[in-house]
Structure 1
Amino acid sequence: GFLWDNAADFNALIVFAEHRYYGESLPFGNKSFTSPKYSGYLTSLQALSDYVDLITHLKSQHEGAQTSPVIAFGGSYGGMLSAWLRIKYPHIVAGSIAASAPIWQFTGLTPCGAFNRIVTSNFQNQTPECSNTIRKSWNFINTITSTDAGKQWLSSNWKLCKPLKTTTDIHQLKDWLSDVYVNLAMVDYPYPANFLEPLPANPVKACTEMVMPMCSDGNNDMFEPQPWNFSEYSDACYKKWKVLPRQDLIVKLYGGKDISTASNIVFSNGLLDPWSSGGVLRSVSKTVVSVIIPDGAHHLDLRASNPDDPVDVVIARNFHRKNIRAWINQHNKSNR
């Protein structure tokens, strides 16, 4: 990706730090998600502290690295961490590229329907009939599955892995369809790609600190009407994980929209990406700047250079390089 394409020009060491509870970093093995007793260390603050410890350790192990500047990169949740790392630890990280980082996708910061409206606009921009057909499909599914014969017909014609039998089955089918539409919009790259993988830690985090209100009304979007109900959300979280979500925690921890005292952060957002609904779309200051990529999907700018890349993502990457160089020079001057 972008890091490999540019590391040599900066004589840089690339470090990928695996977030605890992701990948193989399971502190309690198979028990890690079974109880709050084991999942309690799954927090963004803990992850940031881990990264600070790792950076400090790596600098101590490499000769001449003690005063080397560190630039944080991340996309999506990783982009949020990248920005927060610079906000919380400016003495550790000289600058941050935060791509598709929805740091404002939280209660009181962004309307709950904004995400699904962007998904819908992606389909509508291809052809209005596309979004209209999807909008009508929910009532069709509800009507045809109201009888056993209808459930059997839909199961057979759609070649479902398991036949529809219960109301829960139907809800799961519609949830799956919604996820497909969202993912098609999110990774609407100009070339084939396949990077979405299951992340078992995400549902747990969504029930503790990453509470991002989502809703749909069926008019301004193509989805089945579904209001945001925090009480129901909280009950579902407790039923599944035995934890209670704190919808205001992230704003308290990281300042919400009041980040004007931060510096050296680039927030990049592709307008095809529904997560741009919670992104920083306007520059906050001269050193906390926003880069808009009109034809970009989810953190396209952090992917490897490709002949099919739109011009605007090429411009965004050049802007990233310019800022990285400036941050490094600024750091080196202050450490002479």
Structure 2
Amino acid sequence: MFVFIGGEWGISTGWATSGFFLDIARSHNGAFFYTEHRFYGDSYPIYNWEVDGFRYLSADQALADLVYFIEYQKQNTPGLRNSTVVVAGSSYAGSLAAWARIKYPHKIDIAYSSSGPLHAKADFPEYFAAVEENLRLASPTCPQLIRRAMADAIQLLETQEGAATLSELFNTCEPLKGPVEPDRSYFLTGLSSPFADVAQTAGPGDLVAECERLENNTGTDLEKLAEYIKPLQYCIWTYDLFRDYYSETYVIGSMRTRQWLYQTCTEFGWYQTQAFGDTFKVDLFYQLCSDVLGEQFTSSTLQAGVKRTNLFYGSINPKVTRLITCQGTADPWHTVGLQNDLNDHAITIIVNGTSHSADLYSVMDSDPVELKQARTRIMDTISAWISEIEGGVKSTTK
């Protein structure tokens, strides 16, 4: 029984009809399932998004849902009663896969975590440090240009006149307020987030192309940055617009930001700070938690939640077996994932140059050799563990 775990998104047929984990399931003639996380997509147990209802939104509850689902299928699907259970997930769902094996080893036999962050932390400057290094490898002058542009933006934000110039240059949805916090810091996140997005998902050569698109623009460094960003979005949100929109408690289609903000404010943090210099700090996100969710959500609330997450699930040193994780060095999230094997049956594979969950996609002839080797090792390891569980040859795979 192979279960692909959904994360902070609405599931679709994509991962149920293609992908590497489906290939593994097919190689074992396994039953394949794709589960949706509570409160995301169409799977919400309440009819509004009041904070009081979000008390049912947590990794703990998601794992309990997963185990309940597995037990239900074992009892009601012919042929599954005594099946070996293999779970997998990407990103936060990759964390859930690992945590499912840690918390429910009597129900989950094998876990495969792709790009799953396992160490919770409020302040996460390592993310943008990795983004900047990836850009530097693509073009040494690219992150330097971004740093200069960010410094110019920070200087302009010191006055109302400068803020007005930035509002026009970057097409903000509402006028900026100048040096007023948190408006100032939130605007700077809008200038840096496009680079976080492209670095996390970049394929071979993508960052080179993005840096060329930035550097080939005309004008000052700040004007080049503006010309790069403006085609990516209709307008750049201000802090007030974000706060007001995501403070609404009615269910808005498949929107996920309010739910995910709640989880980061109570369990994980992972707030990406200090992008391309001393630009914005974690205090911005502490205030977002309070302003959007309520004044009871403070930095102390988050720190207690982070401590609990790491205590319950073991951070980067969990006591676990039959767990395999895969991280790409081009993925900024790998800095809070497992870096080394924990034991002979808890294995971490690091793939140089690949991005977020690149290992989960279907095999292509154009894949880098190291990625192909990683997939082979993942499949062989899971197959060996299945054989071991079901009475076959004892696994010697490491």
Provide the TM-score with structure 1 as the length reference: 0.86
Between 1:275-284 and 1:165-174, the stretch displaced more is: 165-174
The reply on whether 1:328 has 2:386 as its aligned counterpart is: yes
Aligned to 1:266: 324
The reply on whether 1:11 has 2:29 as its aligned counterpart is: yes
Aligned to 2:265: 207
Secondary structure at 2:204 match in 1: coil
Distance 1:173 1:225 in 2: 10
Matches of residues 224-303 of structure 1 in structure 2 within 5 Å?
224-228=278-282, 234=286, 236-242=288-294, 243=297, 244-245=301-302, 246=304, 247-259=306-318, 261-303=319-361
Q: 8 Å contact 1:191–1:308 — kept in the other structure?
A: no
Distance 1:150 1:228 in 2: 24
Secondary structure at 1:204 match in 2: helix
Aligned to 1:188: 202
Runs of 4+ in 1 over 6 A off after TM superposition: none
Q: 8 Å contact 1:295–1:310 — kept in the other structure?
A: no
CA RMSD of aligned residues (A): 2.5
Aligned to 2:40: 22
Paired letter, 1:60: Q
Distance 1:330 1:115 in 2: 38
Q: Alpha-carbon deviation of 1:113?
A: 3.0
Aligned to 1:115: 127
Matches of residues 66-105 of structure 1 in structure 2 within 5 Å?
66-105=81-120
Distance 1:307 1:74 in 2: 24
- With over 3 angstroms needed to count, the CA separation of the structure-2 counterparts of 1:312 and 1:59, relative to structure 1, is same
Q: 8 Å contact 1:105–1:213 — kept in the other structure?
A: no
- Tell me how many residue pairs correspond in the alignment: 317
Secondary structure at 1:248 match in 2: helix
Q: Deviations 1:16-66 (Å, cap 9, x if unpaired)? A: 11111111111112x13x22x210011111111110000000111111211
Q: Alpha-carbon deviation of 1:198?
A: 5.7
Paired letter, 2:127: F
Q: Alpha-carbon deviation of 1:250?
A: 0.4
Q: 8 Å contact 2:154–2:279 — kept in the other structure?
A: no
Counterpart of 2:192 (choices 178, 198, 221) is 178
Q: Alpha-carbon deviation of 1:162?
A: 4.6
Q: Alpha-carbon deviation of 1:178?
A: 1.8
Secondary structure at 1:174 match in 2: helix
Q: 8 Å contact 1:190–1:309 — kept in the other structure?
A: no
Counterpart of 2:146 (choices 107, 131, 134) is 134
Q: Alpha-carbon deviation of 1:154?
A: 3.6
Higher relative contact order (Cα pairs below 8 Å, separated by 6+ residues) = 1
Between 1:58-67 and 1:265-274, the stretch displaced more is: 58-67
Between 1:132-141 and 1:161-170, the stretch displaced more is: 161-170
Distance 1:205 1:97 in 2: 22
Paired letter, 1:24: D
Q: Alpha-carbon deviation of 1:148?
A: 5.1
Instruction: Specify every segment of 5 or more residues in structure 1 that has no aligned partner in the other structure, as ranges.
Output: none
Distance 1:43 1:300 in 2: 26
Provide the TM-score with structure 2 as the length reference: 0.73
Q: Deviations 1:281-306 (Å, cap 9, x if unpaired)? A: 11111111110010210011012223
Q: Deviations 1:262-281 (Å, cap 9, x if unpaired)? A: 10011110000000110101
Paired letter, 1:199: R
Secondary structure at 1:91 match in 2: coil
Paired letter, 1:131: P
Q: 8 Å contact 2:91–2:114 — kept in the other structure?
A: yes
Secondary structure at 2:67 match in 1: helix
Between 1:151-160 and 1:119-128, the stretch displaced more is: 151-160
Q: Deviations 1:165-214 (Å, cap 9, x if unpaired)? A: 5546543331112211111111112388xxxx962321110111112365
Instruction: Specify every segment of 5 or more residues in structure 2 that has no aligned partner in the other structure, as ranges.
Output: 1-18, 207-253, 393-398
Q: Alpha-carbon deviation of 1:310?
A: 1.6
Distance 2:340 2:285 in 1: 31
